[in-house]
Amino acid sequence: MAAAGLAEVVVVGSCMTDLVSLTTRLPKAGETIHGHKFFIDFGGKGANQCIQAARLGAKTLMICKVGKDSFGNDYIENFKRNGISTEFVGQTEDAATGAASIIVNSEGANLLLDSEDLKRAANAISKAKVIICQLEIASSISLEALKMAHSNGVKTLFNPAPALAELDPQFYTHSDIFCCNESEAEILTGIPVGNPEDAGKVGLVLLERGCKLVIVTLGPEGCVMISVEEPIPKHIPAGKVTAVDTTGAGDSFVGALAFFMACYPHLSMEEVIRKSNFIASVSVQASGTQSSYPYRKDLPQDLF
């Protein structure tokens, strides 16, 4: 366990208010269609990952920026209800809290997270066991956070989402774990990913770029892992479940990875991935983003 007051998992990333419309199909440009359900959920890749790690039992801290508005206030309460430290959650009057819908996406205050915010949190970052970063904030800030953590021996878990075709090559060398999904893998490498074999090819390319361990997630097919120590791709399948809503399942997986890496450091990476596959598969069996993420008390106790 971390010393009192210090977080085991630190996440530098985004918060979004997810405006979720359920429709039978996507509208064409300029078309109006009827939705059959609308709800608001807490989302944003960074916050989702932090929430999942916290619900599994990690001591967590979020470094992010929300607006000085009701969505921002609600978000801070959401972090507190989930036991997440909000010491470095900034509120700004210069932008609204980020919001996301299936069709239109706006990052809002997330893009105002800056170097000064990281400097204020330097002690928490350098003493964490695991840091997670993604690309829903300015990529330069994600890279700076990864470097701060890496130079202090903190395990760095990078999720290049949403993917950037021209990713700064330093992301590869500063990521202990580089975890992407099929579409992100294709944007980064140009290799279309339809099966575990393709994912293995992506893994090899990303190892050549300097990653130490690559995980390519494949939705219901689980994922493929490859590392410098064992440069042969390994497919780790997920159990079969009936999916209701897969939104945010990748974030549940990443949050679970960070939890197991921080709190069970002696587990093999393969075991960490198997357990995280299971947790993400629980999340797809309920609708919503964070509202579908399981709590430790509701999971089989032999996971822990």
The residues carrying an active-site annotation are 251
Instruction: For residue 248, state whether it binds ligand RIB (rule: CB under 6 A).
Output: yes
CA distance 81 to 107: 24
Residue 180 Cβ vs ligand RIB, minimum distance, rounded to whole Å: 12
**Quick one: 111 exposed, middle or buried, by C-beta within 10 A (0-12, 13-18, 19+)?**
middle
Per CB under 6 A, the list member of 100, 146, 225, 280 interacting with ligand RIB is 100
Instruction: For residue 45, state whether it binds ligand RIB (rule: CB under 6 A).
Output: yes
Residue with smallest beta-carbon separation from ligand RIB: 43
* DSSP class of 93: S
Residue whose pair of structure tokens reads 């598969």 in the numeric block: 281
* Per-residue contact flags (x/-) with ligand RIB for residues 203 to 242, judged by CB under 6 A: ----------------------------------------
SS3 275: helix
Residue 107 Cβ vs ligand RIB, minimum distance, rounded to whole Å: 9
Instruction: For residue 43, state whether it binds ligand RIB (rule: CB under 6 A).
Output: yes
Which residue, 108 or 233, is less far from ligand RIB as judged by CB? 108
Of the listed pieces 23-31, 41-49, 197-205, 265-273, which binds ligand RIB according to CB under 6 A?
41-49
With CA atoms as reference, report the closest residue to 175 among 138, 221, 127, 142.
142
272 near 260, Cβ under 8 Å? yes
50 near 254, Cβ under 8 Å? no
Of the listed pieces 39-47, 75-83, 109-117, 207-215, which binds ligand RIB according to CB under 6 A?
39-47
Angle at which helix 70-81 crosses helix 45-56, to 10 degrees, equals 20
Instruction: For residue 254, state whether it binds ligand RIB (rule: CB under 6 A).
Output: no
Residue 2 Cβ vs ligand RIB, minimum distance, rounded to whole Å: 27
Instruction: For residue 18, state whether it binds ligand RIB (rule: CB under 6 A).
Output: yes
CA distance 33 to 196: 37
CA distance 246 to 105: 18
Number of neighbours of residue 144 by Cβ within 10 angstroms: 19
Which residue, 107 or 176, is less far from ligand RIB as judged by CB? 107
Which residue, 226 or 238, is less far from ligand RIB as judged by CB? 238
Sign of CA dihedral 57, 249, 272, 62: negative
Per CB under 6 A, the list member of 7, 10, 11, 48 interacting with ligand RIB is 48
Binding site for ligand RIB (CB under 6 A): 16, 18, 43-45, 48, 100, 136, 247-248, 250-251, 289
